[in-house]
């Protein structure tokens, strides 16, 4: 090497550094949220969400008239009221806590750029990838904030990534993370949340009828029959949590929530189960939602408000919603464990 070549080599950034490969990016992706708890933003969000063929597996020719002619005319006002009941000063709970998770991950993952994207709404996956690409980043790991895999969640994220690839010639070195239904840090976070709750209010007495309900978002039975692995991954989570807590198999009551429309969904439904327990005068029920890394409408309004009212009005005793995610140490440690797997060899 000549002296001029040697000088250039020591003063110029490497090709890898020029292309951003020295600092990979981690994109933490959650479902999405309206920008405000008002009918207009809710309608915009629902239109995008319910137009995804991964979410509604029906011909658009049949579904679109129902969506536009009925659902988007009726539901936004009702749903906006529900959002208003949980809205924070910082905005949507899901957006606020996902951003906090990303901020805390950024502090823990040295040499990694951590970004937030939403599958529906903003910031969109495509816009985040555009921004990273413009900054020279070429190594990107996509981390869905879904511990259990479903085509309607994780695959929907992968679809959006694939759409970005289809629009661009100069792509990324990409890693698409799958799921973590029984990962050690994740199961420990769930167990720790329950144990800390029990330290405050006492352990449930299963012999006298107390129950611990583990509630997951449901999917249509048709998706399950088509081969979706979601239900089996939920079962793995429950089994691992029972083992970690030292409970016999079957001690925890697994249920599914957030069903809508006339289709048959995975059950038992959470709200039907808590109503049944209330009618049997169950003295206490603790509910935890392992599928939600950040509190949102489905946990704060559906579980902590609607299911609580249903249980008590049916004749039940004490109802406890047990939060575990958000910016808690356990939730961030869970995501960090998965991020390090996704980033292995890059940092």
**Best CA proximity match to 177, nearest among 19, 334, 17, 22:** 334
To which residue do tokens 């129902």 refer?
A: 66
Which tokens hold the place of 239? 């089994």
Does 173 show up as a binding residue in the annotation? no
- The 10 Å Cβ neighbour count of residue 264 is 12
- The 10 Å Cβ neighbour count of residue 188 is 18
* Beta bridge pairs of residue 140: 25, 174
Say if CB 28 and CB 335 are below 8 A apart.
yes
CA-angle at 222, arms to 218 and 228, nearest 5°: 70
Say if CB 217 and CB 293 are below 8 A apart.
no
What is the CB-side half-sphere exposure of residue 331 using CA atoms within 13 A? 25
| Nearest-angstrom CA–CA distance, 333 and 292 | 15
Largest CA distance in the chain: 87
| Nearest-angstrom CA–CA distance, 239 and 249 | 7
Which tokens hold the place of 109? 């993952």
Which tokens hold the place of 168? 């661009």
Would you call 337 exposed, middle or buried from its count of C-beta atoms within 10 A (0-12, 13-18, 19+)? middle
Say if CB 122 and CB 45 are below 8 A apart.
no
To which residue do tokens 């029972």 refer?
A: 242
Does 96 show up as a binding residue in the annotation? no
What order of strands is seen across the sheet that includes strand 173-176?
113-120, 25-32, 139-144, 173-176
What's phi and psi for 291, nearest 5 deg?
-85, -5
The H or E element spanning position 206 is none
Binding annotation: 217, 298
Annotated binding residues for Fe(2+), as ranges?
A: 217, 298
């Amino acid at each position: 090497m000549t002296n001029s070549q040697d000088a250039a080599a020591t003063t110029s950034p490497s090709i890898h550094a020029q292309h951003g490969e020295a600092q990979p990016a981690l994109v933490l992706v959650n479902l999405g949220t309206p920008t405000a708890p008002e009918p207009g933003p809710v309608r915009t969000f629902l239109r995008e969400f319910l137009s995804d063929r991964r979410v509604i597996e029906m011909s658009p020719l049949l579904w679109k008239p129902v969506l536009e002619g009925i659902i988007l005319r009726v539901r936004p006002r009702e749903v906006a009221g529900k959002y208003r009941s949980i809205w924070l000063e910082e905005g949507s709970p899901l957006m606020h806590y996902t951003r906090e998770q990303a901020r805390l991950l950024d502090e823990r993952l040295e040499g990694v750029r951590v970004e937030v994207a939403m599958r529906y709404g903003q910031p969109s996956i495509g816009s985040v990838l555009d921004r990273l690409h413009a900054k020279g980043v070429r190594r990107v790991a996509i981390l869905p904030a879904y511990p259990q895999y479903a085509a309607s969640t994780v695959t929907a994220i992968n679809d959006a990534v694939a759409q970005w690839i289809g629009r661009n010639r100069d792509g990324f070195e990409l890693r698409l993370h799958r799921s973590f239904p029984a990962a050690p840090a994740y199961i420990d976070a769930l167990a720790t949340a329950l144990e800390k709750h029990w330290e405050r209010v006492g352990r449930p007495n299963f012999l006298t009828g107390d129950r611990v309900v583990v509630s997951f978002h449901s999917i249509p039975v048709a998706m399950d029959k088509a081969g979706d692995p979601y239900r089996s991954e939920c079962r793995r989570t429950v089994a691992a949590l029972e083992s970690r807590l030292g409970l016999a198999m079957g001690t925890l009551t697994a249920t599914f929530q957030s069903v809508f429309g006339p289709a048959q969904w995975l059950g038992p439904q959470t709200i039907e189960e808590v109503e049944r327990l209330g009618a049997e005068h169950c003295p206490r029920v603790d509910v935890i939602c392992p599928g939600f890394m950040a509190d949102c409408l489905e946990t704060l309004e559906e579980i902590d408000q609607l299911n609580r009212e249903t249980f008590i009005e049916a004749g039940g005793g004490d109802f406890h919603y047990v939060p575990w995610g958000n910016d808690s140490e356990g939730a961030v440690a869970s995501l960090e464990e998965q991020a390090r797997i996704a980033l292995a060899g890059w940092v």
